Structure formats: structure tokens, C-alpha cells
Structure 1
């Protein structure tokens, strides 16, 4: 990223484009047990992963949305994860290569993933997928997209119902940056609070100079914070997650200029955690994976509570030694962390149990 910022300053290319280029340089590893096919659903590139062994019955289907804040990440960076998911769960996996920033702002990422998902749901027979066992899955922003798509498609009668959602350290809201995990883990790699705000500003096309204002929360009027307090309040987070010196920052006076610019940018934005109860009540069961050393940890805890309060079954796994992005280390040799294998195992076991 440091090198990318230099190239961006020199106006050679943007930082995200340089990082994605570097991430995509290593050749993809082939797995003899998995057949990988590159396809396009309209203009959207996708990778289809199918077990090489034949099956007498239709298999589960997994639609996978990669993480990276819609800044980094690609079909290539998550190739190994999708191969392992395909092989270990004996499922057909579709990985979506949605368009990203800085060229493509909100709502392009959501739209691309939604279009690809609908196309896949309409073509399950062609891929040998059981229409009763289709799940959506994603890490980081991909997990947030998975949750949004479940909410978006909940009433579609012309499509097979999504059986479950798998949310791995998902991005589920961007309204309250004063939650305990945002304080406790603000400088933890791979997702610092500063980079999270950079991604959020890029996504909404907000100037990054508003970072300090967003951290103080004084771009939001009191009545708006009160509206969402019942879902975002720290009292909804178990006490054991608030014991590391957490102290709420008092909100300062409203910054009218920041409120005008940021609220206009957020107009029409849907974040999975902040939709109404009747929407939450209709989504499929969830498998939620949270990590202790992750600024987004509390987003997962709050969404878990909302789902459970509305009667939606939740399987929750908390990785005490986990950090944001750890799943990507699953086949990185020297940089491997055992937590990534445990996350993969709980996801595979969840799918097998459907």
C-alpha cells in the first residue's frame, strides 16, 4: 500500500489498482480434485469450482463474495479458499469478480454480486446444484454483501430460496465507529481503523478529510443516533468484550457541513445491521464467524443478537486468536495461521449439516 500511494501521488495509477496488480501476480495453484472454469455472467467475471468426482445427486451450491473492502481482493486472491471449500464440503462454488473502487463506487459492488447470484440461482440444474441447499458466503465486505443479498431476495418467489448465509468477520454497518472493538483493535493488522474509514469514504465518495469528524461521530444528529441506539448500543454487546479499557467518546456538537456531505452520500445506503425487524425476521439461518482482534468484531456480535431476537437460527464461532483477514492465510506457507484452518472447518461442517 505504501508503494501504491507513491504511484498514486505520481499519478501513474491508484493505490488500490497497484495493490490488486501485485496480489494477482502469483500463479494460481491447481488442485487435481477440483475443476475450475472461468465464465462471464453478462459482463461479470466469475469462477466456477466443481468437484472432479462425479455425483449421483445434486450438490450444495455456494456463492462466494470476496473481501477486501471493495478496494483490494479479487477472484485470484480467494482462489485457494474457494478450492478448499469446494473440495472439503463437496460443493459447487461460484466466486464473483465484482467491479471495485476507485473506478466503481456504491452501489456497483452490490449490484454486480446480486446480478451474478440471480443468474446462478436460475441456472442450478446446469451446474448440478441442489436448489434446496444454496448458501451465500463472504468474508469482510463480502460477508456484508452476503447478508444484503439474503435481505434483498427474501421475497423472490421466482427463485430458489437461499438456504443459509455464512458471514466471516463481516462488514455490517458503518454508522457507529464508537463500539468497543473499534477502540480496542484500531491499530491491528490487517484492517486498521484508518484503512476501514478510507474504504468507507471511497465507497460513499466522501472526502477522506472528514476522517476525524467521523471518528467523533458528530456528523450524525442526536435523533438519528437515538433511532439506531436500540440496535447499535454497547449494552447489546456481552460484557466480556468491553473489559479492555473501553470508554465511550462523548459526542460533540453537530458539524453541519459534515452532516450535509456525509448524510447525502449515505442516502439510500442499506447496511444489513440497520434494516427493520420485518426484514431481519425473513432472512435464512446464519453461520457467523467473529475474530477477537478485529475492529469489526462487534458488528458480528450485534447482528447475531438481532437475528436471534427475531427468531433466526444462528451458529456462532468466535476465534479468540483470530484477526481480520486471517482466512486468506490458509495456504500462505510461512504466513499461515492455524486459525484460518479452524474457520474453514467450521464453515465446511456447517454446510455439511444443512
Structure 2
């Protein structure tokens, strides 16, 4: 009888942990619910690891749970090497043109988790279908690194990728190079695209940037998508704010301040009217998105937050804050956004700002999509669709 009670209690606890309502209209809700439970478990493990000073160990164990070995197949050669001094996995198509396309990819994970090891399927397919060389680096992660370390790693990798020596070593066509990434990796890809686009010392530049649900700003955590999806699966608003505080080296006690937009109040002198216009979703988002949501701009906020977190205003951390003249020098863009994602409006605002700056942009909006879907092509039909769309755009534009 006692055993039955214990088993029943465990089953009930498991059911409560797994069950978490998902929004109506999302793709394959029960699969998403199970995935969310697994994600929350791994994040809890990661948080405990960070508290115990075992962040690197947790990342290592997590990585080894995925496909960690450099395994070549009949179509793609896979090797582990370094790029710009960083561990890098390289996928090289075995057949096709002598000069290949080149793609530099930055993985997601809130600047704190993840590895190129989690993206084997996507990057392997991209190399094969594009007849390309695809490189993905393992940049430094929180807590060992905070901004601008991750950005500096990404930029070092990009400069090495664009160098004549690397282009020659891997037989990459200097006129067909792209930079890409998802989530926090999309943030790094966008920031690198802006920096290299404005760097006149570079003889070779990226032709395209392909951003998958990128993180692009930290001044407004009350955009329609942040409010609509604040408690949703995979990536909630509190979790995204936590990632930002980790990245910028801030104290987690500031989380409620950022969630309430008290850090970007009218009385904050650093957040000028010009800066505010660059994240003004009331003018940058389409009507179907804004609906009845209200702009949250506090008259009086919490003083000194920008001084404590200068990265909030740094274009290297928040590409959406870039001036139009800088955006105009960025490469042609692809931006994937998902309806059920707190980051949806970051991406949509960036699409509009790039277009206004004269940059050709393809906006790929997934109405049943959720954050992280492109990494799940083996589990979700949506993952396969998003992967197909991403690779197809690169085929047509790179």
C-alpha cells in the first residue's frame, strides 16, 4: 500500500511538472509541453550548477548528452578545429563547385548555455544542400564570461573567417559568405554583421546575414510579444531578462526593475528620444501585432540602472539601437520570427529598421512557431518547415 502511495505521488508530481498550458495555435502542443518540461529540468540543473560553481561542468555534461563527436558521412566532412582561437566545428560538403559558399554560425543559449554540438543536423544539412563550408564556434559562456567577451569572441571568429588565409584553406568564394545564428547567437550574428559592414579595412565582407529569432534589445520588456508570451514555454520573459542580466554582468535583484521597464524611464538621461524611437514598437510593428497592447514608458524609474549596466545602451549588445547610417551598411538580411516567442517583436522591429535604412530584408514569420523550433526538426514538423525555409533562403540569396 505504501509503495502504491509513493508511486502515485511520484506520478502526480511528474504530471504536475510536465503539464504547463501552452498557447492556442502553437504547433503540436503536447510535444511542446514535454519539451518544455525537459528544458525546465535542464535549466534547473544548470542554475544549480552555477550556484555551486559548476557551470562549466553542467555545460560539458549537457553537451555530451547531444551528438558530440565530429562524425563525417557520405555527403559532408566534419572536423573540429579552431577559428580566431576558438573551438570550431567545420562542415564541408564533399561534392560540387570548387569554390564553395561559406556560412559562419553562432549557436543560441542565452550567452550562457549551448554549443555547436546541439546544431549538428541543421549545420550538416546546410553544408550539404548549399554545397558550402559551414563553421560554428564555441564562444565563451556565462559565468566564465560576460559582455563584451562573447561579442569579442564572435567578432574574432568573423575576422578570421573573412581572412584570405581561411578562405583559401577551405576554398570558399569570397563573394558568397554569410553570417548566421539563432537567439543569442542571432544577436551575435547581427552585431558582427553591423561591425564588419562598417569596417572599411576589410577587403572581404559578408554578403548576407540570416537571423533566427534574434535577441536585439533590452530597453523594452513590455513589447506585445513580451507581454503576450511572458509565461510561455521554452523562453519566458523572466528567463530572458535573467539571460540579459547574466550577459551584462548585472545583479539578478534588478530583474523586476527591467521587467517593469523602470530602467528605461523618461527621467533616465541616457535613454534619449532618439534612442527610444529605435525601439518604439508602436511605429515599427504592423497593426496585426500591436493590437490593443499599450506602450509602457515609466515617467519615474529606478535611478542608476544604465550606469550599472552600460551594455543596455551598447549597440554591440543591442543591435536594434544602431543608427540608421550603420544599419544601411549591413548585408542583405533574413529574419525568422515566431508568433509564440517573447523575441518576436525584436526581430520584426529590426526588419522594419533595416528596410527603412535601405537594406533588402526577407521577414519569415511562423504563425504557429515557438522559440527554438529550428533545432527540433527531428521532433516537430514545424522544426522541419523552419529548417526548410532557412536553407531555401540561403540557396536563393547566397
Q: Structure 1 length as normaliser, TM-score? A: 0.91
User: 1:58 maps to what in 2?
Assistant: 99
Q: Is the 8 A contact 1:206 1:265 kept in 2?
A: no
User: 2:135 maps to what in 1?
Assistant: 94
SS in 2 for 1:37: strand
Pick aligned residue for 1:248 from 291, 295, 306: 295
Can you list the C-alpha shifts for 1:268-316, whole angstroms capped at 9, x where unaligned?
Answer: 4532111111101111110111110000000111100011111110111
1-side partners of 2:352 and 2:194: how far apart? 16
User: 2:322 maps to what in 1?
Assistant: 275
Pick aligned residue for 2:214 from 166, 170, 181: 170
Pick aligned residue for 1:141 from 169, 177, 184: 184
SS in 2 for 1:318: strand
Q: Is the 8 A contact 1:292 1:321 kept in 2?
A: yes
SS in 2 for 1:153: helix
User: 1:24 maps to what in 2?
Assistant: 64
Task: Give yes or no for the alignment of 1:308 onto 2:355.
Answer: yes
2-side partners of 1:45 and 1:93: how far apart? 14
How many residues are matched?
345
2-side partners of 1:82 and 1:56: how far apart? 19
SS in 1 for 2:202: coil
Task: Give yes or no for the alignment of 1:179 onto 2:228.
Answer: no
User: 1:210 maps to what in 2?
Assistant: 254
Which stretch shows the higher mean deviation, 79-88 or 16-25?
16-25
Residues 1-354 of structure 1 mapped to structure 2, 5 A cutoff: 1-9=43-51, 11=52, 13-14=54-55, 17-19=57-59, 21-28=61-68, 30=71, 31-41=73-83, 43-53=85-95, 55-122=96-163, 123-154=166-197, 155-222=199-266, 223=269, 224=271, 226-235=273-282, 236-243=284-291, 246-249=293-296, 251=298, 253-262=300-309, 264=310, 266=312, 268=314, 270=316, 271-331=318-378, 336-354=379-397
Which stretch shows the higher mean deviation, 227-236 or 163-172?
227-236
2-side partners of 1:27 and 1:232: how far apart? 38
Q: Is the 8 A contact 2:315 2:322 kept in 1?
A: no
Structure 2 residue runs of 5 or longer lacking an equivalent are 1-42
Can you list the C-alpha shifts for 1:128-154, whole angstroms capped at 9, x where unaligned?
Answer: 111100000100011111111111111
Q: Is the 8 A contact 1:51 1:86 kept in 2?
A: yes
Q: Is the 8 A contact 1:186 1:193 kept in 2?
A: yes
CA RMSD of aligned residues (A): 2.0
Which stretch shows the higher mean deviation, 185-194 or 162-171?
185-194
2-side partners of 1:130 and 1:185: how far apart? 41
Distance 1:158 1:253, change over 3 A: closer
SS in 1 for 2:204: coil
Can you list the C-alpha shifts for 1:36-77, whole angstroms capped at 9, x where unaligned?
Answer: 011013531001100122x34311100001111111110211
Distance 1:261 1:98, change over 3 A: same
Q: Is the 8 A contact 1:216 1:252 kept in 2?
A: no
Q: Structure 2 length as normaliser, TM-score? A: 0.81
Distance 1:130 1:257, change over 3 A: closer
2-side partners of 1:121 and 1:180: how far apart? 38
Can you list the C-alpha shifts for 1:93-124, whole angstroms capped at 9, x where unaligned?
Answer: 01111111111111111111111121121111
Q: Is the 8 A contact 2:108 2:181 kept in 1?
A: yes
Which stretch shows the higher mean deviation, 301-310 or 30-39?
30-39
2-side partners of 1:153 and 1:165: how far apart? 11
Can you list the C-alpha shifts for 1:297-352, whole angstroms capped at 9, x where unaligned?
Answer: 00111100011111110111100111111111123xxxx11122222222222222
SS in 1 for 2:278: helix
Distance 1:124 1:214, change over 3 A: same
Q: Is the 8 A contact 1:193 1:295 kept in 2?
A: yes
Which stretch shows the higher mean deviation, 93-102 or 229-238?
229-238
